[in-house]
Structure 1
Amino acid sequence: MTNTDILGYTPNPNYKKSVAYFSMEFAIDQSLKIYSGGLGFLSGSNLRSAYELKQNLIGIGMLWKYGYHDQVRDKDNNMIPQFIQKDYSFLEDTGIIFSVPVHSGMVKVKAFLLRPETFGSAPLFLLSTDLEENDFVSRSITHRLYDPNETTRIAQSIILGIGGGLLLDQLNLTPDIYHMNEGHAVPLNFYLYSKFKNLEEIKKRMVFTTHTPEQAGNEEHDFSLLKDMSFFYHLQEHEVKFILGMDGDKFNYTLGALKFSGKANGVSKLHGEVAREMWGSYSNICEITSITNAQNQTYWQDTKFAETIKANDEQGLSSRKKEMKALLFKEVANQTGKIFKEDVLTIVWARRFAAYKRADLLMYDWERFLKLLNSTDMPVQIIWAGKPYPEDEGANKMFNQIIKKTLKFANCAVVTGYELALSALLKKGCDVWLNNPKMYREASGTSGMTAAMNGAINLSLPDGWVPEFAVDGENCFIIQPAADELSQPERDTKENSNLLTVIEDVVLPTYYKNPSKWYNMIQKGVDGVLPAFESSRMADEYYEVMYKKI
């Protein structure tokens, strides 16, 4: 089988190098629930733009039987995770079954194919161990994305990396480039070492995108456990340490990927700087450049809204924005029984739910928060959404505390089911997209890009991609960060105050008293985000900066 057979098109000559793109999650379409958050949104947009540009690229991922999880509510209105089997008639059973060594046993793996024409994406192969030939433990490897069990998580990386390498052999494909989107697929390198017997030969073919701007967030496990689980394929622990120049008891996925790759990238300019500072002291790592994340315009931008912006139709834009707000507010009413108004400024905080993203920062000064909610001359509506990791007790507790704290307020709502469809509704239906993570913790934070594409104005701390886009007061509202030398509680207090001040003194007066300026800010937001933060730019940059330069 040739790449062209799989792609269904002849690759554009500008992108003729063949690429296999490995990612643990892909957010391609709402109906294919194999993603958790930003990493999947990024890889999904990349595959969509690769298809639009006719790049010679295929994706390799995992077919999660129960997805990430479904958010449902219990009898007390708390959010709880449920695991519900997913079935996909649109995936093609390739009939390809092969064996991958895990724990010195052999696990059967089947490959399914998402064809390009189904959703308009580069072809995506998805691996499953949920086969009758396997025992229950082996079948469970591809049950849950990011399974909490350590050995299952390790096995998932083995299936993605080594299984993906074996699949390419089954397809008789030898890519020019292997691209690891995050470090989960790092076992691929040990499989390739068994073929090339040479680290430099792998470096000629391997590139790596890192997404995690803090040391503790980069996955690592005991060398001895990984060896026992066949993570290193046929290599012994001492051989791995010798080849990569590593020591200690722990193998760090990101460090291993940086040592195997010919080139790596952070996902914003700021993150590139952070990554070089994090890893620069280690020997024999590759160059770390920056390619800022981006999102696919075709998928994310409302077409009617795009037409009004192009026509410079202020009245048409206002009308379409109210229509998009009405669609969002139907879902809010459906979930919460609260009726929101289209002519009221609506702020949305929605993204992967983790403590450092501070979903509750608005509430830190409760009395001031109440004053904001109770304002009648310049009213506000606030919506929260997000998916905490099921085993993250702190994040789940925070999510449910926000539900409880805001339950009695008719102008506050917390909605569940934060997946592609709800994400699109929120971005199209809000006026202000709020982003207030702890500084330097957000590698990129792409949600604000797709919000801006749909006429939402970003209200953000200058972290991740934002400094590359933001012109405060012209295309966004910037929350002034607290001084770096302050303690975290002091920074939280200061940034809460700065956030509320911007809303009270700048955002609300602009929206209600200066609609022409608001319209101009929307226009400049769209102009600033397109095409610079559209994923065709990113997909092209991967070829120009990463694939052609190693």
Structure 2
Amino acid sequence: MNFKNFQVPYQVNERYAQKIAYFSMEFAVHQPLKIYSGGLGFLSGSHMRSAYELRQNLIGIGILWKFGYYDQARNQDQTLQVTWTEKIYNFLEDTGIRFQIMIHDAPVWVKALYLAPETFNTAPMFLLSTDVPENDYVSQTITHRLYDANVATKLAQFILLGVGGAKLIDELGFNPDRYHLNEAHGLSAAFYLLNKFKSVDKLRERLVFTTHTPEEAGNEKHDIYLCHKMSYFCGLSIDEVRKLTGIQDDQFNHSLAALRFAKLANGVSQLHGHVSREMWAKYPGICEIISITNAQNLRYWADKQLYRFSDDNDEAAFDDRKHWLKRRAFEIVADQSGKVFDPNVLTIVWARRFAGYKRADFLTTNMERFEKLLSNTKHPVQIIWAGKPYPSDYAAITQFNNLVNLSKNYKNVAVLTGYELALSKRLKQAADVWLNNPRVPREASGTSGMTAAMNGAVNFSTDDGWIPEFADHGNNSFVVPKGNYAKMSTEEQDQYDLDKLYEILEQEILPLYYDNYHTWRQVVQNGMRDVVLKFESNRMADEYYALLYK
């Protein structure tokens, strides 16, 4: 295939004729391609699938991580072991494109690989790698590990995605109408484009930005002198960068610079858009921030048979299918933990990235109530935990390991490793209740509950992220009502949420499941229907064209 003057290799729908280059640090398009860590990747993966389904004129730009994020293995005592294994991807095509970019004042060779649309039903995707023999070993390691813990390596990764991605687009001759940064990792593209267009106004016409982080501290900041030394600013002096970005202190805030360079930005839920506008309001010169709520791809995620039986009002077949899905997922539980779970028992699943504010171990913070829940013979429960902590987040790894050790005491509690796309889907099929209890308002969107609903699980959540736009308590989900969090300390907020969580679980969810299954099934099916109406990624991909790329 010739990659000069590249055009998407399918008939473009004229509604989506504008050319878009979409930059993301991670993409979760399918289990065999392990270049993602969590929600950001799941979101961009669904976006690529919907762009293909809608025949949009869009290409994805990412990085080919040689060792992926990491492989989640176990130590001898079952606790978490971080391992790194080289990945082989014979389904990617070498474009033959090679070029150099400057990193740390030295030329680094970059090669581009191509993921064709028909391979996994995605928009065309280009993945960059520095793991080539022309580079020295240090330069080769830039694309070894997603979100490398070394600060200089991480900055080099940002430069590769931004500068390397923008230069690749020139090599392809693609000439996009919009450069879309999914989070600020690829912001260095703006400095490359400034050199190209020679004008901030011309840059601004073409740059749009999606922010995923609902708190200032979570936005990437790096020492401005280190950024300069690393060639992040594409030859501009620090004084010129300060003048252009308005950033006067020594910490270069990538998101703030993106909001000042972009024509338009978006938050990833209605609530997150509101939180973002408040959060950045004190900074002059930022662009407008709208909301485009995240969504997930139905064709990839949903269990089609559940939907068919639901549409046909075939209750027996629907129940039988959910029962079978649970039983199949419980084979994985038995294989990993030696515990045989019962498909007739209400199963609670908490599975996503382990991070402090997501409160993975929340149910266990009151052991008396936890014991009571697990030993209830009238309304029995089974609980599964899974998820990958960041490999250097020792607090989150400790949390994971504490749950592993706790689970050894119970036959109805399991902690699984290897939480990637395939296991994620299986656990959503295993779940009757998909538990999500982040500390409000710290979850920007949190899309795992969308795909859980697509597999016949009922969302049970604190009222954060996408949930306020979806939830109808007792009808399609169960929600912890917001407290007056602004007047509460963190400890008070946690206590309030925990009390409400147990109250709803013990007084509403368990009795409904065991004593009124007909109504329970209706709640499940309402959730399945409602999630498709507003949280399917074709709606989201369409809104990006209508609202952000316009």
1:505 to 2:507 alignment: yes
CA distance in 2, matches of 1:75, 1:452: 36
Checking the alignment, whether the CA contact within 8 Å between 2:6 and 2:173 is kept in structure 1 is no
Partner of 1:522: 524
Checking the alignment, whether the CA contact within 8 Å between 2:5 and 2:173 is kept in structure 1 is no
Partner of 1:312: 313
Checking the alignment, whether the CA contact within 8 Å between 1:4 and 1:11 is kept in structure 2 is no
Partner of 1:392: 393
1:170 to 2:161 alignment: no
For normalisation by structure 2, the TM-score amounts to 0.98
Letter in 2 for 1:224: Y
Please list every run of 5 or more consecutive structure 2 residues that lacks an aligned counterpart in the other structure: none
Q: Which stretch of the first structure deviates more once superposed, 537-546 or 402-411?
A: 402-411
Partner of 1:460: 461
Letter in 1 for 2:102: P
Partner of 1:340: 341
Letter in 2 for 1:420: L
For normalisation by structure 1, the TM-score amounts to 0.98
Letter in 2 for 1:64: W
SS in 2 for 1:59: strand
Partner of 1:105: 106
The CA deviation at 1:173 is: 1.4
Partner of 2:131: 130
Partner of 1:491: 493
Letter in 1 for 2:514: Y
The CA deviation at 1:217 is: 0.6
What pairs with 1:140-289 in structure 2 (closer than 5 Å)?
140-289=141-290
Partner of 2:540: 538
Letter in 2 for 1:526: M
Letter in 2 for 1:243: L
SS in 1 for 2:465: coil
Checking the alignment, whether the CA contact within 8 Å between 2:27 and 2:41 is kept in structure 1 is yes
Letter in 1 for 2:528: V
Checking the alignment, whether the CA contact within 8 Å between 2:6 and 2:174 is kept in structure 1 is no
| Change over 3 Å in CA distance of 1:370–1:3 after alignment to 2 | farther
1:357 to 2:361 alignment: no
The CA deviation at 1:453 is: 1.0
CA distance in 2, matches of 1:304, 1:140: 44
The CA deviation at 1:23 is: 0.1
SS in 1 for 2:534: coil
Q: 1:472-502 CA deviation, whole Å, 9 max, x = no partner?
A: 0100011234431121112212211111111
Letter in 2 for 1:170: E
Checking the alignment, whether the CA contact within 8 Å between 1:3 and 1:56 is kept in structure 2 is no
The CA deviation at 1:314 is: 1.4
Q: 1:172-209 CA deviation, whole Å, 9 max, x = no partner?
A: 11101100000000000000000111111111111100
CA distance in 2, matches of 1:312, 1:4: 51
CA distance in 1, matches of 2:482, 2:119: 44
| Change over 3 Å in CA distance of 1:296–1:3 after alignment to 2 | farther
Letter in 1 for 2:443: E
| Change over 3 Å in CA distance of 1:345–1:4 after alignment to 2 | farther
CA distance in 2, matches of 1:308, 1:3: 48
SS in 2 for 1:65: coil
Letter in 1 for 2:442: R
Q: 1:198-240 CA deviation, whole Å, 9 max, x = no partner?
A: 1111111111000000111100111111111100012111111
Equivalent pairs, count: 548
Letter in 2 for 1:362: L
CA distance in 1, matches of 2:85, 2:174: 35
Checking the alignment, whether the CA contact within 8 Å between 1:353 and 1:389 is kept in structure 2 is yes
Partner of 2:10: 9
Q: 1:1-54 CA deviation, whole Å, 9 max, x = no partner?
A: 689954221210000000000000000110000000000000000000000000
SS in 2 for 1:531: helix
CA RMSD of aligned residues (A): 1.1
The CA deviation at 1:353 is: 0.8
Partner of 1:79: 80
Partner of 1:434: 435
1:478 to 2:479 alignment: yes
CA distance in 2, matches of 1:286, 1:490: 36
CA distance in 1, matches of 2:483, 2:81: 34
CA distance in 2, matches of 1:519, 1:150: 49
Checking the alignment, whether the CA contact within 8 Å between 2:7 and 2:174 is kept in structure 1 is no
Q: 1:260-304 CA deviation, whole Å, 9 max, x = no partner?
A: 100000000000011001111211111000000000000000111
SS in 1 for 2:533: coil
SS in 2 for 1:21: strand
Q: 1:521-546 CA deviation, whole Å, 9 max, x = no partner?
A: 11210121113100000000000001
Q: 1:374-415 CA deviation, whole Å, 9 max, x = no partner?
A: 000110000000100000000000000001112120100000
CA distance in 2, matches of 1:350, 1:191: 39
Letter in 2 for 1:500: Y
